[in-house]
Chain A
Amino acid sequence: MSTRVYIARDAAARSVGADRVATALAAAATAAGRDVDIVRTGSRGLLWLEPLVEVETPAGRVAYGPVDAREVAALVTAGLLDGAPHALNVGPIERHPYFAGQERVVFARCGLDQPTDLDACVARGGFRGLRRALEMAPGAVVDAVRDAGLRGRGGAGFPTGIKWRTVLDQQHPRKYIVCNADEGDSGTFSDRMLMEGDPYCLIEGMIIAAHAVGASQGYVYLRSEYPDAHRTLADAIARARAAGYLGADVLGSGLAFDIDIRLGAGAYICGEETSLLDSLEGKRGQVRAKPPLPAIEGAFGCPTVVNNVITLASVPAIAEHGAAWYHDHGTGRSRGTLPLQLAGNIRHGGLVEKAFGVTLRELLYDYGGGSLSGRPIKAVQVGGPLGAWLPEAAFDTPIDYEAFVAAGGMLGHGGIVVVDDTMNMADMARYAFEFCAIESCGKCTPCRIGSTRGVEVVDRLRAGDRREASLELLHDLCHTMRNGSLCALGGLTPDPVESALKHFPEDFALHPATGATGTTG
């Protein structure tokens, strides 16, 4: 009888050698006279343990990690294929403390099966939400999403039900569902992991959205930096179409809906929804003034739902289990679950899906295990490159949209970047300006020019050049960018800058004569 072994084909797992481990395992099994069936799955999200190998045993799936391809033969000899004890044996993932405490809703299936195996997905409850939604009137689906309290996971936290209601109410023969899969924020990878690990969850969410608002065409605007996600999603869409989930008559319901993928081309600003829509139409990705809202005049001038991957992927569970069930998770006005991403200088980096309300400190220490370097955590940046740097004093902030605003930050897409005490925060402030200058779409002067000025001012400040005047200039510049920018790239770049300065003023003190800023290029 053959032994089933699971190894992730997620890009992060592959980036640290999962393919080599799979090859080595097949060879070692053959050498040992054992028959193995290697299933390549999404990642379970315990990324510091990748490459992770899970072996099916009578007692369940037993995991080993991180496995080096060169150790595989020895591991097989030591009894890996029977789940034998070993220093790398971490037991069943479901009982691992990192996993056991999670509330997996969006990521419930991720890592369990071959990601585009449609039968396996359906056997685990895939498309049940869609079947229920198709039995409901479109307005009732929109109401359920509103009552669930779902808010946009792409950054702004806008109530999804309200957006959908606006699109539903438009009398227009053509409407679109656009999935924002541009995921440009440093520290974020949940969109990627979901598209690679359970693409049907996103597809199902998009079909439900189409039914809810009356859309006939969907697009996934996917960043080009994700070739693995592209392959998996394209494969899944083709299989879903062949099985009747997409096309002229979705599951015999009369709904006509199909999905195409459009690739981005390396511009961060194309994650901003109006810029994204221009890019989707084949144009330069420049930000448009709002109004008109995309919900009223979006893709090709038609009413359009633009939602993040995780927002859309949260919808199947709401449709299946009901608004009240979803709303029971979370706290305050932040309902449901958020897949948080622990990144950077953190010992246990990975994906932690939790109901809102868990604190930053629990995530950093109980899940994350502290810094990777073993040094004190100095600060974290939550919500991507436009998020404020939060010091230790803010670590008791709960994961909650309003609580983060009160703490001077933002939750954004739920990415948490950790830095230790060797990081100089003036370097990070300088980098924030530099990033803004590189990625500015060029439409407004404060963003385009101000960001470059900002780099110079930080340099002058650190050179000790007219310190008081430079400080004043820096704040003026931030003020101008905040108030004179059309979108959040220019408007929020001051947040990481001023938070770094506020919490770590000593890092902006006179710089050693080397002139090295630590940031290059």
Chain B
Amino acid sequence: MTTEPAATGGADHDPDDDTLLDRVFDAVGERPDLLLEIFHAVQHARGYVDAALVPRIADRLNLSRADVHGALSFYPDFARTAAPRHVLKLCRAEACQSVGAVALAEHARTRLACDFHEAAADGRVLLEPVYCLGNCACAPAVMLDDELHGRVDNARLDALLDDLGSDGA
């Protein structure tokens, strides 16, 4: 990723981290089998899962740091550095390809001036590939910040991205 870690995430013993983890453990539970749920909750609250949290999560769950890091790095969903405010997931799988997803991806990369796994030139949108969103009868499909869109052509993609601009984000 091309973005810098956020200032809040860099410090070694950030009291914010403890507050965040307390809140997450309270809501999700404090068991090793809930590790993915814990990551999801942290990411939901902060936008990414900071490496500084790994030793703390490991201590609280009685796991090794290697275990926690290993799981964190295995899953594509979890960002480990501060992510742009918006994420555009563009489906690259077969059904979407059959109705123009390759050209749509090309358009997205040109418009955002970035490649997959990178942030747009303006730093506000992260472009991620995804392999099927379960919307294969209304392809091509994209997901913009948890909102699914179907039958997306270049014009619709532009409109979706233009709308991001209008909310001042």
The reply on A466 being an interface residue by CB < 8 A is: no
Q: Which residues in A have their C-beta under 8 angstroms from that of B70?
A: 283-284
- A50-B138, A189-B137, A267-B76 known; A282 and B34 CB under 8 Å? yes
Closest A residue by C-beta to B70:
A284
- A184-B131, A187-B136 known; A418 and B39 CB under 8 Å? no
The reply on A41 being an interface residue by CB < 8 A is: no
- A16-B150, A284-B74 known; A417 and B137 CB under 8 Å? no
Inter-subunit contact A183/B134 (CB<8 Å): yes
- In chain A between 1 and 45, which residues have their CB closer than 8 angstroms to a CB of chain B? 11-12, 14-16
A381 to B95, CA, bound (A): 9
The reply on A433 being an interface residue by CB < 8 A is: no
The reply on A461 being an interface residue by CB < 8 A is: no
Q: Which residues in A have their C-beta under 8 angstroms from that of B95?
A: 186-187, 343-344, 415, 417
Q: Mask for A197-229, Cβ within 8 A of B = 1, else 0?
A: 000000000000000000000000000111110
Q: Which residues in A have their C-beta under 8 angstroms from that of B129?
A: 521
The reply on B164 being an interface residue by CB < 8 A is: no
Inter-subunit contact A188/B136 (CB<8 Å): yes
How near does chain B come to A495, taking the closest CB pair, in angstroms? 13
The reply on B56 being an interface residue by CB < 8 A is: no
Contact stretch, chosen from B8-16, B18-26, B141-149: B141-149
Inter-subunit contact B77/A224 (CB<8 Å): yes
Inter-subunit contact A47/B137 (CB<8 Å): yes
How near does chain A come to B108, taking the closest CB pair, in angstroms? 10
Inter-subunit contact A344/B77 (CB<8 Å): no
| A contact residues, total (Cβ < 8 Å) | 67
Inter-subunit contact B102/A265 (CB<8 Å): no
From B37, B77, B106, B134, contact of A262 by CB (8 A)? B37
The reply on A292 being an interface residue by CB < 8 A is: no
Inter-subunit contact A343/B137 (CB<8 Å): yes
The reply on B40 being an interface residue by CB < 8 A is: yes
Inter-subunit contact B148/A15 (CB<8 Å): yes
Q: Mask for B92-128, Cβ within 8 A of A = 1, else 0?
A: 1111111100100110010000011000000000000
- In chain A between 490 and 521, which residues have their CB closer than 8 angstroms to a CB of chain B? 518-521
From A343, A345, A349, A435, contact of B131 by CB (8 A)? A435
Closest A residue by C-beta to B151:
A16
The reply on B88 being an interface residue by CB < 8 A is: no
Q: Which residues of B contact A (CB under 8 A)?
A: 31-37, 39-40, 67, 70-71, 74-78, 92-99, 102, 105-106, 109, 115-116, 129-139, 141, 143, 146, 148-151
Q: Which residues of A contact B (CB under 8 A)?
A: 11-12, 14-16, 47-48, 50, 183-189, 191-192, 224-228, 262-268, 279-286, 300, 341-346, 349-351, 372-373, 381, 385, 415, 417-420, 423, 427-428, 431, 435, 438-439, 518-521
A-B contact pairs, 21 of them (CB 8 A): A11-B135, A16-B138, A47-B138, A184-B131, A187-B95, A187-B136, A225-B132, A228-B148, A264-B75, A265-B76, A268-B131, A283-B67, A283-B70, A284-B70, A341-B137, A343-B137, A381-B94, A415-B95, A427-B97, A520-B105, A520-B106
8 further A-B pairs in the complex, CB-CB below 8 A; given A279-B36, A282-B71 = A189-B136, A224-B77, A263-B36, A267-B75, A268-B131, A341-B136, A428-B94, A521-B116
